[in-house]
Chains A and B, each alone.
Chain A
Amino acid sequence: MSLARFLIKRLLQGVFVVWGVITIVFGLRVIAPGDPANVLLPPDVNPEVRQQVVADLGLNEPLYVQYWDFVTGIAAGVPEGLYNIVMGQPVGGLGLGTSLTTGTSVASRVGRSLPATLELAIMATVVAIIIAIPLGVVSATNRHSGPDYGATLFSLAGISTPNFWLGVMLIIVLSVQFNLFPTSQRAIGVPGIFDLLLAGQLEAAGDGFLTWLWYITLPAITLGTYFTALITRLTRSGMLDELGKTYVRASRAKGLPESLVRYKHVLRNTLIPIITVVGLQLGTLVGGAVITEFVFDWPGLGQVLINSINSRDWPMVQGSLIVISVGFVVVNIVVDTLYTLVNPRVGFD
């Protein structure tokens, strides 16, 4: 079946990219100045203790051995982790090692912070798509009118505004001046809807929903604005492009009403290419999430990454980078498959 073959091919490419990611991440640590062991050891520690710690971390081994252990560790850890998830047991280390600063396993620390980032990313994407597609369509179909100019200016400002500044200004205006929204961190008490959903406590998630929504509004707007602006521009220019094509004139020649031509024919063909661009731009979304978490002290993977970089906690940095990139690769495979499913022209072979 050609879908299966397409998936295998894409998965193979995905594995290659993940291997590339792991190699780059490992390379980053190797070229980093300073001795990784110093993070654990005070400067005036006596040599034997330093020897012992270096041996424990396996830093004394030749580089290729360290690399080999690192890669095989992950290669074994991830499938084992997946198996555990399926069986409902704790996920285990995934071969990502333990954090130097907290001593806990990297995988569990990343696992705990991932849902918060996902919440942000998904909310931003949902907000973006709900607003951007109709806005793009309206501005494409009635050109040189009010909504068209409005949408163009909004989308232009949207892609030109650094999201951290937008976040800061939203806090200043909406939280400080008019205190409509909480100023910062998702309070510990506020339930992470994702954690609850994952844990299956639907009822708890239900009544905690409103407070969660109240907390997530500003971060979601901050993160979603660039994305909304981008998709508005793409929808508008994609729509204008399609409207110029011969099959539109042929459809009108058939006597089809303009609204049918515009929505059933043109809009569908406009949305198909946007899927790939959205996939490509997800990287920007995750990047934006890292900054938004910094601005709003949102306890996501971005926070973990920045803190671990500042504290030189290498295993944590490696773990977060790998999880972010692998997640991104998986999402891209899903997006590609979706694109091929929706677009009959592109077969699976």
Chain B
Amino acid sequence: MSHTGHRDDLLRVEDLTTRFYTEEGQVNAVESVSFDVRDNEILGIVGESGSGKSVTALSAIDLVDSPGEVTGGEVWLRDAELAEEFRGESPDAVDGDFVDLRQLPKGVRRSLRGPKFSMIFQDPMSSFNPSLTVGEQIAEAVEVQRRASANPRSTRSRTQGYGLGKLLFDSVVPGREYTSDESRERAVELLDQVGIPDPVERAEEYPHQFSGGMLQRAMVAQALAGEPDVLFADEPTTALDVTIQAQILDLLRDIQQDRGMSVVLITHDLGVIARMCDRVGVMYAGEIVERGSLEAVFDEPTHPYTQGLLGSIPDVDDPAPRLEPIEGNVPNLIDSEMPDRCYFADRCPKAMESCLEHPEERAVEGEQGHTARCVLADGEYDPERALDESHFEGGDGE
């Protein structure tokens, strides 16, 4: 399994595929998605609701629970120690310093959450346990790492030396045994680092006593507890007002630069992408349809869907032009109803016969690292061979 990659790649995801087995049928939420995250970089994943961008992140760090399941693909992480540890046991899971996490046991993948990966979510209010103080929950994240580094073997034990009986007792009487004093002090430090005023008092308060912005900062603090290499941020500012959003984006920028950490920023807001990201992946119907540097994707959008997206956003500095929306609706990803043509063909103004077979990811001419899953990447639009509207009339479109 050798493949070309940028020399300072940290995480390479290849053909990641996730299925949800619901009553309505099998939903193909993520369809052989590939992307890579480099050191000290912010990678943007943009897409509308239902495009599978959140599920992609959850799949990468193994947080998809039933009825969802990651059914295919590899997640290569550059980690020399881990590679060393598993080179003997499962040789084909190791390639140089990279290890395919999908082939490692579940306990190992869980132990990576914290020190290697962490994640922040869209709605801070529902991402904290309402009946525990914020300080306690952050101290927990610190404690997990403290116990893990104390004895690596036990990271994969079920209760990490914190007996079930104690847990049951603790669930009734809100004791603090699990978190030690050091981790509570560290939690206050983290609250301070993310710019929360008088952190000592705020640590003793409950989530409902925080404003949206403050609680999002607390969530960032919690995510930094394990000094992660890659921070996944799933729509971190969507639920916030624009002035608070600006504060949080600045915070993420500062933290990423101070700690040289990589961030995967998932959002539907192209403005946020433009302000924060070095490289971008555009997702539609469970697939990455275009991938490249910010300049490449914003200035020379190749895939018609990316062009459509950029065309349908009102510009705060220039009200004049009428918007050119993308007609039709997003497909519902139910496997039985998904055609094997390009998923965007029925809405694409430049659909041609060649779009009837499923397009591969192609490099865009003259653009290193800029790819698109469309024939136009390295081909010309030929009006004679265009498909007219009637071709897709069968569907229940507009």
Interface residues of A (CB under 8 A from B): 245-247, 249-260, 263-265, 267-269, 271-272, 342-345
Q: Is A344 touching B131 in the complex (CB atoms < 8 A)? A: yes
Interface residues on B, range: 35 or more
Q: Is A253 touching B63 in the complex (CB atoms < 8 A)? A: yes
* B14 CB → nearest A CB, Å: 23
Residue B103 lies at the interface, judged by CB distance under 8 Å to chain A: no
Report B-chain residues with C-beta under 8 Å of the C-beta of A245. Answer: 126
Report B-chain residues with C-beta under 8 Å of the C-beta of A256. Answer: 140-141, 144
Q: Which of B137-181 contact A (CB under 8 A)?
A: 137, 140-141, 144-145, 148, 157-160, 162, 164, 167-168, 170-172, 174, 178
Asked if A254 meets B113 with Cβ closer than 8 Å, knowing A247-B127, A344-B130, the reply is yes
Q: Is B144 touching A254 in the complex (CB atoms < 8 A)? A: yes
Complex: chain B residue closest to A246, CB-CB: B126
In the complex, A121 Cα to B36 Cα: how many Å? 63
Q: Is B126 touching A255 in the complex (CB atoms < 8 A)? A: no
Asked if A345 meets B144 with Cβ closer than 8 Å, knowing A252-B63, A260-B162, the reply is no
In the complex, A342 Cα to B131 Cα: how many Å? 8
Residue B128 lies at the interface, judged by CB distance under 8 Å to chain A: yes
Asked if A263 meets B164 with Cβ closer than 8 Å, knowing A255-B113, A256-B144, the reply is yes
Q: Is A255 touching B174 in the complex (CB atoms < 8 A)? A: no
Report B-chain residues with C-beta under 8 Å of the C-beta of A259. Answer: 158-159, 164, 167
Complex: chain A residue closest to B136, CB-CB: A264
Report B-chain residues with C-beta under 8 Å of the C-beta of A271. Answer: 171-172
* B291 CB → nearest A CB, Å: 25
Q: Is B178 touching A345 in the complex (CB atoms < 8 A)? A: no
Asked if A264 meets B131 with Cβ closer than 8 Å, knowing A253-B113, A255-B110, A255-B111, the reply is no
Complex: chain A residue closest to B175, CB-CB: A264
In the complex, A260 Cα to B112 Cα: how many Å? 17
7 A-B pairs within 8 Å (CB atoms) are namely A252-B63, A252-B110, A255-B144, A257-B144, A344-B130, A345-B130, A345-B208
Q: Is B159 touching A252 in the complex (CB atoms < 8 A)? A: no
* B151 CB → nearest A CB, Å: 14
In the complex, A260 Cα to B167 Cα: how many Å? 7
Asked if A257 meets B126 with Cβ closer than 8 Å, knowing A250-B121, A264-B170, A268-B172, the reply is no
Complex: chain B residue closest to A256, CB-CB: B144
Among A253, A264, A267, A343, contact of B178 (Cβ-Cβ < 8 Å)? A264
In the complex, A268 Cα to B171 Cα: how many Å? 5
Interface string of B115-135 (1 = CB under 8 A from A): 100110101001111111000
Q: What does DSSP make chain A's interface, helix, strand, loop or mixed?
A: helix
Q: Is B63 touching A265 in the complex (CB atoms < 8 A)? A: no
Residue B52 lies at the interface, judged by CB distance under 8 Å to chain A: no
Q: Is B178 touching A260 in the complex (CB atoms < 8 A)? A: yes
* B206 CB → nearest A CB, Å: 5
In the complex, A240 Cα to B193 Cα: how many Å? 36
* A201 CB → nearest B CB, Å: 32
Asked if A264 meets B128 with Cβ closer than 8 Å, knowing A246-B123, A255-B145, the reply is no
Q: Which of B209-248 contact A (CB under 8 A)?
A: 219, 222-223, 225-226
In the complex, A110 Cα to B221 Cα: how many Å? 60
In the complex, A249 Cα to B159 Cα: how many Å? 18
Report A-chain residues with C-beta under 8 Å of the C-beta of B171. Answer: 263-264, 267-268, 271
In the complex, A256 Cα to B226 Cα: how many Å? 11
5 A-B pairs besides A251-B140, A253-B223, A254-B118 with CB distance below 8 A are: A246-B126, A246-B127, A251-B137, A254-B225, A263-B170
Report B-chain residues with C-beta under 8 Å of the C-beta of A255. Answer: 110-115, 118, 141, 144-145, 148, 226
Among B65, B131, B174, contact of A345 (Cβ-Cβ < 8 Å)? B131
Asked if A268 meets B114 with Cβ closer than 8 Å, knowing A260-B167, A263-B167, the reply is no
Report A-chain residues with C-beta under 8 Å of the C-beta of B119. Answer: 250, 253
In the complex, A267 Cα to B171 Cα: how many Å? 6
* A251 CB → nearest B CB, Å: 7
Report B-chain residues with C-beta under 8 Å of the C-beta of A272. Answer: 131
In the complex, A46 Cα to B96 Cα: how many Å? 113
Q: Is A257 touching B159 in the complex (CB atoms < 8 A)? A: yes
Residue B342 lies at the interface, judged by CB distance under 8 Å to chain A: no
* A197 CB → nearest B CB, Å: 25
Report A-chain residues with C-beta under 8 Å of the C-beta of B170. Answer: 263-264
3 pairs of A and B residues whose beta carbons are closest in the complex: A255-B114, A255-B113, A263-B167
Complex: chain B residue closest to A267, CB-CB: B171
Complex: chain B residue closest to A242, CB-CB: B129
* B187 CB → nearest A CB, Å: 12
Among B131, B140, B160, contact of A254 (Cβ-Cβ < 8 Å)? B140
Q: Is B208 touching A253 in the complex (CB atoms < 8 A)? A: no
Q: Is B131 touching A269 in the complex (CB atoms < 8 A)? A: yes
* B231 CB → nearest A CB, Å: 10
Q: Is A247 touching B206 in the complex (CB atoms < 8 A)? A: no
Residue B289 lies at the interface, judged by CB distance under 8 Å to chain A: no
Q: Is A268 touching B160 in the complex (CB atoms < 8 A)? A: no
In the complex, A349 Cα to B160 Cα: how many Å? 40
* A141 CB → nearest B CB, Å: 12
Complex: chain A residue closest to B165, CB-CB: A263
In the complex, A253 Cα to B115 Cα: how many Å? 11
In the complex, A250 Cα to B178 Cα: how many Å? 18
* B194 CB → nearest A CB, Å: 16
Q: Is B61 touching A253 in the complex (CB atoms < 8 A)? A: yes
Q: Is B158 touching A247 in the complex (CB atoms < 8 A)? A: no
In the complex, A342 Cα to B127 Cα: how many Å? 20
In the complex, A342 Cα to B171 Cα: how many Å? 12
* A298 CB → nearest B CB, Å: 31
